Amino acid sequence: MAGRPSHRLRFGVGLALAAGLGVGVSYLLLAAERRQAAAAGEERRAVVATQALAELVERAGRRGEPARRAVGAWQAGHDRVRVARVVALEGISLEASTAPEDQGDKAAPRRLARDEKALYDQGQRLRAAVAANKEGGAPKAEIEAQPLTGGALRLATPVLEEGAVTGMVQIESTPSEPAPRPPLFPAILAFLGPLVLFGLVSAVLGQRRLPLAFAAAACLALGVGAYALHSLAAVSSGRALAQQALAQSVQAEAGAVRAALSAVGLHEAPPLRPGTWDADAYRRPRGLLGPDGKVDEAAGASEAAAARGQAERALWGVAILAMALLLLVGLGGFQKLAATLVANRQAYFYVIPAMVGMLVLVFFPFIYGIALSFTDSNLYTINQPLTDTWIGLRNYGDILGDFGVARRAADGSLIFNYLNFYWTLAVTVLWTVSNVTIGVSVGLLLALILNTPGLAARPLYRVLLILPWAVPNYITALIWKGMFHRQFGVVNHVLRLLGSQGISWFDTPATSFLTALATNGWLSFSFMMVVSLGGLQSIPAELYEAARVDGASRWQRFKAITLPSLKPALVPAVILSVVWTFNMFNVIYLVTAGEPGNSTEILITQAYKFAFERYRYGYAAAYSTIIFGILLAYSAIQNKLSRATEAA
Amino acid sequence: MKPSRPALTLLAALALAGPAQAAELTVWHAYRAEEKAAFEKACAQYAAGKPGTTVTTLAVPYDAFADKITAAVPRGKGPDVFIFGQDRLGGWIEAGNTVEPLDFFLDEGVKGRFIPTTLQAMTYRGTVYGLPFNYKEITLIYNKKLVSAPPKTTGELVALAKKLTDKKAGRFGLAYAYSDYYYHAALQNAFGGRVFDEGKPVLNAPENVKALDLLLKWIDAGIVPAEPSTALITSLFNEGKAAMVFNGPWFLGEIAKEVDYGLARLPTVDEAGGKPMRPWMTVEGLYVTAPSKNKEAAYDLVKYLTDVPAATVMALEGRQTPSNKKAYDDPRVAGDRVLSAFRAQAETALPMPNLPEMSMVWSPATTVMNTVTRKAATPQGALDKAQAQVVKEVAGLRKRP
């Protein structure tokens, strides 16, 4: 294409793409909503049936012949329930079953067979759930639903006797018809309408850019808006119909239970409350039906409004996305992007694998971790979506806002709260500073010794001194932990040879900290030694010669030549080493394990313990995010400082 | 689409040997030295009686064991059976797909073979999740040279301890890690104290306050050393400067050879109306994993390992105190003064709670013990504070939808 592209064509293409996106996604959303609504309706209907059966079984005596006959009579009136089973927990017995495979010599009542263990375990699970929920434990589902093939469901609900669960009923529904797809005609109309309209208007407007943009936006808003209104109306009417259908099925269910009761010669006393059968997973009535099973208009309206609000938000999101696409294409941004992509295609091609890797391995876990830090996710809620456990900044407030580090005891001594964030932070800082100091000074000293001219067997020493670094650090950590063992450790053994009692190293915070410090000092000096040695060997000997000629002392030479020459090598090594030590999980976790009483934890091990010993994943994620923030601030400052020193 | 090699071999094995027999069972444990040898022997005995069944045992370092279970088992990468204490049981059950409930397999005969409290430790919300293998609890260990007859009541204990205490010489009648909540629990349970009541934390129950009051009385009487670290207690006892200690089987290995020690039940508490001290019992269980492909065979193994022949091997060669009460009918076990002493103490021991929320109790409880024994807070005040903290943490964990 030569010359300037046509604005009209660009807006036309942009409008087509945007309308396609807006209407297409809305159509898919509507279809998904219908599928979901159908599945939810199916499940609610099945829940009503299960609850009704449980009530029938409770009224028919829970076990024995009357219960069996009642279940048989109930099954006869249900063509959409394939199987109904009643299990009594005591005696592990199948009390009733309408399954074709449970006839003849396998007919109820009988003890459950070994391959039916899952049935009994489910009953036990429901019993535990009811008991736990009553005690105020972590909420657990009291009605278990499990999808089978073809949209069929298997549901189980407890059978109660004086508030305690003594059994369970389970039903399997027949496969249901898939939900019909929403009609295509309105969608096509909403897509083509704006295009035709824009074609007519643009014929009048010519190639003027701004009016074309407004016209295209208006046409898009018209098309997508109209389809959104249509979708909302469809959702609302669908809900109302589903509500009616459910009310009908509750009535039918009540009729079936009454019939089954009279079939076994029982009266309906006290009267049934069919509306309560429409319950959520915790067996709490949803309240959308009155106790008699008729639709409760007020409750239904408020629930419908909430659902409508949700659908509206989703449609608004789609509309904004479509508008953005229109403007991107129409105003030429898309063209520019495509042009750079084509121009630099080789570069992008090479970068793609790394980008995908980073995305999957770094950015996704990172963003997930940060999102997790705003939630109250824990052992019990780990399976819920993050939005359900969202608590905003509370974790951060709890961590950073607690200043109760220490308190004074009656005898005047201080008592520290070792779980406090600021205590752990102080330990971490002390840990980092002391370790890096030890690492640098010991490493530098050894490097200076190794750098002595004419030293015999230098390669041998170098290999020996680098070994601590070459051995995997957790192995070193475990060896050192053993060496500090109070009874069998070599350190105490030596102390005892010298006439001391031996120290129980992990009993006080200070000695415990020392053990970790010794271990990490051992682990870190090699690296510093290698870096310093490399730096030392690159210093030209002439500098020292010249200094000696000028009469400089050893110390002066060290200060004026060695240290400045080493700086370019040492500064990055120190920066790195600070970050490594700050997050040195292995040594703390394996050597001191935080003993005594979490006093020697550093931030990273404390975060680990919050996550995997106290099961508070959200809190631990917030802890980790704070650690990240600290290290980010540290690198930013360090970067600035080191650049300043380099410039000087 | 192609079935994997292991699946094919498994199928072939099933076809050849019939369903119930051919099973390759894997067991993870954290035993070392003589316990490991005894356990492997018991497993080998089982396999010898079941042609076609192989039992592979894998010793996992204890430090990494629990994490390994948590990570591997729910993803189907774990063993068929593993051994662990009851303290992590609740957490694994709540996390799901880790431990298989065993109620379905259990019959009265199997249930009846255990010391009831050990089976209780394996029970979570009314369902049994493992078979108890062995148990540990603290008991009274005394220096026979200093104590001729162990005290039966706390009155006798205090009187005897006072007589044997000489603070200037660094001698104490009684030494135990009273500022460790685990050790203190024996006293607390005597008063009927508890940490959870029907699943709700009740750290500041009046009985718990009374137990701390009594402990303070002992401290004030000067019969116990200050800041009792485990190291201090060991050295005091070995030097003959502590006449009596409350400690568990892990302590016996640290007693010096020249000390002639005896074991006796913890005394009854006069202040609690003559009720016995009831130490917390930790029970190691044998668990069948939920994703195991051989659950029935695994249960059969677990059943065998808790039966008398295996329990006797574990007791005599592994030096464990088996949960199977019939194992103590064997004269070699009954005649062992250590095993029989811990068996006697088990009569009053209570299983330590296996609720996952227990992991939130330790840290506040440790603070209570440290502050109260150092007189930094009153028992009631410290317990109220700990209770508030535990309630807060537990409520955070059990949010309603």
Judging by DSSP bridges, how do beta strands B242-247 and B172-175 pair with one another? parallel
Here the tokens at position B266 are 């913890």
pTM of the model: 0.75
Chain B residues with beta carbon closer than 8 angstroms to that of A137: 199, 398
pLDDT band at A39 (very low <50, low <70, confident <90, very high): confident
Chain B nearest CA to A290, separation (Å): 23
Average pLDDT over chain B, rounded to an integer: 88
Q: Could you check whether the bond before residue A186 is cis, i.e. omega within 30 degrees of 0? A: no
pLDDT of residue A333: 85
In A, residues 261-280, which contact B (CB 8 Å cutoff)?
none
- Which of A94, A379, A492 should one mutate to test binding to chain B, selecting the residue with the greatest count of B CBs within 10 A? A379
Single-letter code of the amino acid located at A135: E
CB within 8 Å: B359 and A616? no
Q: Could you check whether the bond before residue A147 is cis, i.e. omega within 30 degrees of 0? A: no
B238 interfaces chain A, CB cutoff of 8 Å: no
Mean pLDDT of A72-86: 87
pLDDT over threshold 70, residue A411 = no
Minimum Cα–Cα distance from A503: chain B residue = B231
A331 Cβ neighbours under 8 A, 6+ residues apart: A213
Max CA separation in chain A (angstroms)? 120
CB B316 within 8 A of CB B175: no
- Which of A614, A617, A619 should one mutate to test binding to chain B, selecting the residue with the greatest count of B CBs within 10 A? A614
In B, residues 281-310, which contact A (CB 8 Å cutoff)?
295-296
pLDDT band at B16 (very low <50, low <70, confident <90, very high): very low
Q: What is the pLDDT of residues B259-275, one digit of tens each?
A: 999 999 999 999 999 99
In A, residues 220-249, which contact B (CB 8 Å cutoff)?
none
- Give the torsion sign (CA, A45, A51, A57, A60): negative
Mean pLDDT of A211-221: 90
pLDDT band at A383 (very low <50, low <70, confident <90, very high): low
Minimum Cα–Cα distance from A409: chain B residue = B376
B392 interfaces chain A, CB cutoff of 8 Å: no
Mean pLDDT of B60-78: 87
pLDDT of residue B2: 44
Here the tokens at position A301 are 């309206």
DSSP class of residue B136 equals: E
CB within 8 Å: A112 and B104? yes
pLDDT of residue A412: 67
Chain B nearest CA to A75, separation (Å): 28
CB within 8 Å: B101 and A124? yes
Mean pLDDT of A379-389: 74
pLDDT of residue A410: 63
The ipTM, to two decimals, is: 0.81
Q: What is the pLDDT of residues A451-497, one digit of tens each?
A: 887 888 888 888 888 888 888 888 898 888 888 877 678 888 898 88
Q: Which of B198, B235, B397 sits opposite A138 (nearest CB)?
A: B397
Minimum Cα–Cα distance from A504: chain B residue = B231
pLDDT band at A211 (very low <50, low <70, confident <90, very high): confident
pLDDT of residue A508: 80
A336 interfaces chain B, CB cutoff of 8 Å: no
Chain A residues with beta carbon closer than 8 angstroms to that of B127: 124, 128
pLDDT of residue B301: 94
pLDDT of residue B14: 43
Q: Could you check whether the bond before residue A158 is cis, i.e. omega within 30 degrees of 0? A: no
pLDDT over threshold 80, residue A629 = yes
Mean pLDDT of A24-35: 91
First vs last C-alpha separation in chain B: 41
Q: What is the pLDDT of residues A438-456, one digit of tens each?
A: 999 999 999 988 888 788 8
A388 interfaces chain B, CB cutoff of 8 Å: yes
Minimum Cα–Cα distance from B235: chain A residue = A501
pLDDT of residue B21: 55
Minimum Cα–Cα distance from A133: chain B residue = B400
Mean pLDDT of A583-595: 86
Chain A residues with beta carbon closer than 8 angstroms to that of B200: 135-136
Q: What is the pLDDT of residues B51-63, one digit of tens each?
A: 889 999 999 988 7
pLDDT of residue B12: 45
pLDDT over threshold 90, residue A206 = no
pLDDT over threshold 60, residue A1 = no
Here the tokens at position A353 are 């694998």
DSSP class of residue A359 equals: I
A45 interfaces chain B, CB cutoff of 8 Å: no
Mean pLDDT of A557-571: 85
CB within 8 Å: A379 and B400? no
Q: What is the pLDDT of residues B181-205, one digit of tens each?
A: 999 999 999 999 999 988 889 999 9
Among B277, B85, B116, smallest CA distance to B191 is for B277
Average pLDDT over chain A, rounded to an integer: 86
pLDDT of residue A350: 92
Q: What is the pLDDT of residues A310-319, one digit of tens each?
A: 888 888 999 9
Q: What is the pLDDT of residues A424-439, one digit of tens each?
A: 999 999 999 999 999 9
Q: What is the pLDDT of residues B207-225, one digit of tens each?
A: 999 999 999 999 999 899 8
